[in-house]
A and B are shown apart, each in its own frame.
Chain A
Amino acid sequence: MNRKLLIVLGPVLGLVMFAGAVRVASWTYAKQQPAPAPAAAAQAPAAAATPEADAKKPYVEAEYRAFPVVGSRVAIWAVAQLHLLFAAFVLAVPIFAFIVEAIGYKTGDLRYDKLAYEFTKLLSVSFSLTATFGAFLTFMLIILYPKFTNYLMSVFSPTFLPYVLLFFFEAFFLYTYYYGWGKFHPLVHLGLGLGLNIVGTGIMFIANAWLTFMMSPRGISETGAVLSVKEAIWNYTWMPINVHRVIANVAFGGSVAAAYAAFKFLQAKTDEERAHYDWMGYIGNFVAILAFLPLPFAGYWLAKEIYAFSQTLGLTMMGGAFSWLFIIQAVLIGNLFLAANYYLWLGMGRVEGVQPLQKWIKYLLIGIAICFMVWATPRSIIATVSEVRAMGGSSHPIIGYLGVMSAKNTAVNILILTTFMSFLLYRRTGKVAAVSWAKRGHVAQLVIFAATAIFVIFLGVYGYFVEATVRIGLSVPQVLSVLFAMIAIMTIDIFLFRGARKTGEMRWGRIPAISQYVLIFIAVTFTWLMGLMGYVRSGLRQHYHVYGVLRDQSVDAFTPTLGFATKVVSVTVLLFFLLIGLVFWISSLHDKPDFERKPKTVRPTKEPEAELT
């Protein structure tokens, strides 16, 4: 591009952005003026004419202000979601950067150190965007929902200064961790990484207290007066959300980092680059799926605490306005499992001599597909009056039985178990166990797997024949048996493959390009899932800002249709990927060669003699 044009482009863009911001602000201000009531409007011209009337105009505190075009709720929703997505990324990346760096330090393998640094490079810009959206969200809350924000501030005022202080510490740790790479003793650097993780988690815990209080308020009187800030923080859903978010953030961050690696893999020019980014994508995805497997269990705990706080809230979630949302969730999670397994199966091609294991894939696929179908079966279906009459109700006489929790809990547990087995198959590609008890070890693993699957299915079927009080409790042994199986099988596997004989070398980079698109698909699906679950967590309160305490009196107090909610989620996800693309681009500038000024071309000067003549 023309250099003069480039020089002008910067200031012009700056001016356009400034003018745009001023225009939006003035437009917002113009739109938020409430229309005067008819009587007030009739008196307004006369009243406005007298300076005395102006002087005596009473101060009225606004309860709500309107955001133009999309409305206040959608505006807050989008900004909050973007803030949360970036915050999740900024909290997750240091967790696995720290783990990867620690592995590198322990093993002395420099590849891990390089990988951890590459993850960390994405943090700097993301941190700024997180803070920007955080400030944006705060201002939007103050402007659009002043009374509600004021109430939250009055309840949680003791938490704000520690929050700011932790934020300052996070900036300190993050920048010293990033810029100090290779400048300190490795243990000192790891210490900085640990500090970054502790402070980041602390920040999230404080923010979680505010939002969980809105859902399950505690520590206040019937009229909303604060009785105990400690109880307000430690409300029913605070700790389950903390745990759920830590795990989900790791899964999400891993998937986005894997998508970054996939992008770089597809851009790569050399085999060496492809090998590095294939490995990076694998690690990112491994972390994502590893964190994803226990996530449903954390979800159970959260749901249990929601029910413990308020049966009404729990029933609204699972049986009321939001019940169909969980069918959409089933489609998303089913896709995640399918894509994650597909990526693993494609990855098995990196190793020679994998054919004996590949025969199992079709059985795993069948298992996953059946579980997916069961999980996505709705209890009641949309039907015409005559169809409902023919079925004898809104649920199908046969398939309807798969739409209840007994079947769905069973399906999700088997799905987790199957994905775990895919991991196990991938893990042992190119290796043969060399220990003396290898055969017995394999049999033990198979027996544990089969026994767990049978036990889970048995409990699922048993649930149809017992009373509700017994049935609800069956999900606990199902979950525990799957957890036990995963831990037991993995433990055996670690010892089984110690000193294993290699049958083929791992050739990083030798994977079909479609696998990289699968990684990007997984990242988009994770992001969309976070958006959807963020909506249900917040939307559950329905017409309350603080559930059962502070009612939403605004024009947005209704609960929108799921179709509308999914549109908002999609727009937010697209915006996030647009911005994360920007983060990737800015981060990649670091690796670009420095600008080199071309030597000036010397123009031939006219001969002085010629001028004279």
Chain B
Amino acid sequence: MKIPLILRIGALVVATTGFYTYVGQMVPQKEVQPPKETALGAEMTTAEMVKVGQEIMAGKGICLTCHTIGKTGALRFPDLAGVGEKAKTRVPGLSDVEYLAQTLYEPTAYVVPGFPPAMPPVNQPPIALTDQEILCVIAALQTLGGTPTVTMKTTHHYYDGTPKPGAAPPPAAAPKSIP
């Protein structure tokens, strides 16, 4: 029995799209939810801040999209292993907290030699971490080869303890309002 041409072509079109759909199912499946605002209390302990900071690094902060922890070889961005210790002496005159704050608020102020000046300021959209969230990230970074020292009351060059006007928007208003 000869299959009509239109059916043969239809079968080819369906089989081709079916194959590509199948390939699409074979790759890792991940649904990315919009970042959730983390409730940060002023009385959080440093240990709690570290835990929150690690979550932010893997999620809302998208730090681990580029940075690795404990990898060597042809890296595109600096590996974060030991950064807690390195931060203390990386830039003369800056403490570890000040240096880590600088890398997050003003990443191109100091760029690790051999790497491109590619990191965006994390307090600005689209990442838009709040000052408190950045403190938690600093706490998490300090644990990588060092001991966390920051608290929710820690201040630095970019944060004097009160939210600045024009800085990262408050959690409820993360999107900029459109008039």
Contact = CB atoms under 8 A, between A and B. Distances in A.
Contacts of A525: 16, 20
B31 A310 contact: no
Contacts of B162: none
A578 B29 CA distance: 29
Nearest to A322: B32
Contact of A467 (B25, B28, B71, B115): B115
Contacts of A558: 31-34
A468 B20 contact: no
The interface residues of chain A, by DSSP majority, are classed as helix
A328 B27 contact: yes
B120 interface: yes
Given A324-B28, A577-B13, A311 B34 contact: no
Given A320-B65, A382-B28, A524-B13, A312 B74 contact: no
Contact of A553 (B66, B116, B120, B175): B175
A313 to B, nearest CB: 8
Contact of B116 (A465, A468, A574): A468
Contacts of A310: 120, 126
Given A467-B115, A468-B75, A561 B176 contact: no
Given A468-B115, A566-B20, A315 B175 contact: no
B127 to A, nearest CB: 6
A321 B14 CA distance: 28
A324 B27 contact: yes
Nearest to B76: A468
A520 B27 contact: no
Contacts of A544: 126, 175
A448 B101 CA distance: 52
A471 B74 contact: yes
B24 to A, nearest CB: 3
Nearest to B127: A312
A221 B174 CA distance: 16
Interface stretch (A198-206, A222-230, A363-371): A222-230
B120 A311 contact: yes
A67 to B, nearest CB: 20
A196 B23 CA distance: 39
Interface string A311-331: 111011001110011011001
B117 to A, nearest CB: 9
Interface residues of A, number: 69
Interface string B4-26: 01001100111011101101110
A27 interface: no
B126 A548 contact: yes
Contacts of A548: 124-126, 176
Interface in B55-104: 62, 65-66, 71, 74-77
A554 to B, nearest CB: 10
B30 interface: yes
Interface in A391-414: 393, 404, 406
Interface in A548-582: 548-553, 557-563, 565-567, 569-570, 573-574, 577
Nearest to B73: A464
A547 interface: yes
Contact of B21 (A550, A570, A577): A570
Nearest to B122: A312
Contacts of B12: 517, 520-521, 524
A313 B125 CA distance: 11
Q: Identify the interface centre among A464, A469, A471, A557: most chain B CB within 10 Å of its CB.
A: A469
B27 A224 contact: no
B125 to A, nearest CB: 4
A372 to B, nearest CB: 13
Interface in B137-179: 174-179
Given A266-B5, A468-B76, A570-B17, A547 B126 contact: yes
Contacts of A552: 34
Contacts of B174: 551
Nearest to B114: A467
Interface string A517-547: 1001100110010000000000000111001
B48 to A, nearest CB: 26
B177 A528 contact: no
Nearest to A565: B24
B27 A463 contact: no
Given A472-B116, A520-B12, A224 B176 contact: yes
Nearest to B118: A311
B47 interface: no
Contact of B16 (A319, A469, A528): A528
A303 to B, nearest CB: 13
Contacts of A151: 178
A321 B8 CA distance: 37
A548 B13 CA distance: 39
Contact of A267 (B5, B77, B118): B5
A223 B31 contact: no
Given A327-B27, A548-B176, A562-B29, 13 more contacts: A147-B178, A263-B5, A316-B62, A319-B65, A320-B62, A468-B116, A469-B115, A528-B20, A547-B126, A548-B125, A551-B176, A563-B25, A570-B17
25 contacts: A224-B177, A224-B178, A224-B179, A225-B179, A263-B9, A267-B5, A310-B120, A311-B119, A315-B66, A316-B65, A324-B28, A467-B115, A468-B114, A472-B116, A517-B8, A524-B13, A524-B16, A542-B126, A543-B34, A548-B176, A551-B174, A557-B34, A560-B31, A563-B29, A569-B21
